[in-house]
Amino acid sequence: MNDGKSGKPHRSFGLVDFLWRWAAALVLVFVTYNPAGRSYFHWAKATFVGEGLEPVHYFVGVILVAGWTIFVIATARSLGALGTIIGAALVGTGIWLLVDIGLLHADSVSTIAWLTLFALGTLLAIGLSWSHIWLRLSGQLEVDED
């Protein structure tokens, strides 16, 4: 298939593309913080209390801030406020449904934290992918006019 402009073949957005974005969003969320105690938050906190932060802590922190900036801006621009609220409600009620039918067990604060972080990663992946999903669903191209 040709996009008609550049002469290069156009590859459409598919499930694998979304799964890569989802994996990246989940890595970003869980590397930043997770209830298991193995995250940037816990690493920096333990070091700060001990011998103090070193350049590697700041370097990794800047990488995480850059990642969060990319994901949050992409989500905000593609979904907007209402879309983000609807997306969060959809992901949240989906998890609630899975808990209600017994597929997930939210019997501890740690489990609820894991589920909340998973929901956040899912919402970020949807936001990062939404323009592609919208094009596939509607045939309409979204253009950022800012």
d(Cα 54, Cα 144) in Å, to the nearest integer?
Answer: 39
Q: What angle do CA 90, 77, 27 make, to 5 degrees?
A: 65
- Tell me the whole-structure pTM to 2 decimals: 0.80
pLDDT for 5 equals 58
How does DSSP classify residue 56?
H
Here the tokens at position 39 are 């995250």
Q: What angle do CA 114, 116, 122 make, to 5 degrees?
A: 100
pLDDT for 48 equals 78
Q: Where do the structural domains in the chain lie, given as residue ranges?
A: 15-138
pLDDT for 1 equals 47
| Burial zone of 8 (CB within 10 Å; 0-12 exposed, 13-18 middle, 19+ buried) | exposed
Mean pLDDT in order along the chain per 10 residues (146 residues): 54 86 98 95 86 89 97 92 92 90 87 92 93 77 62
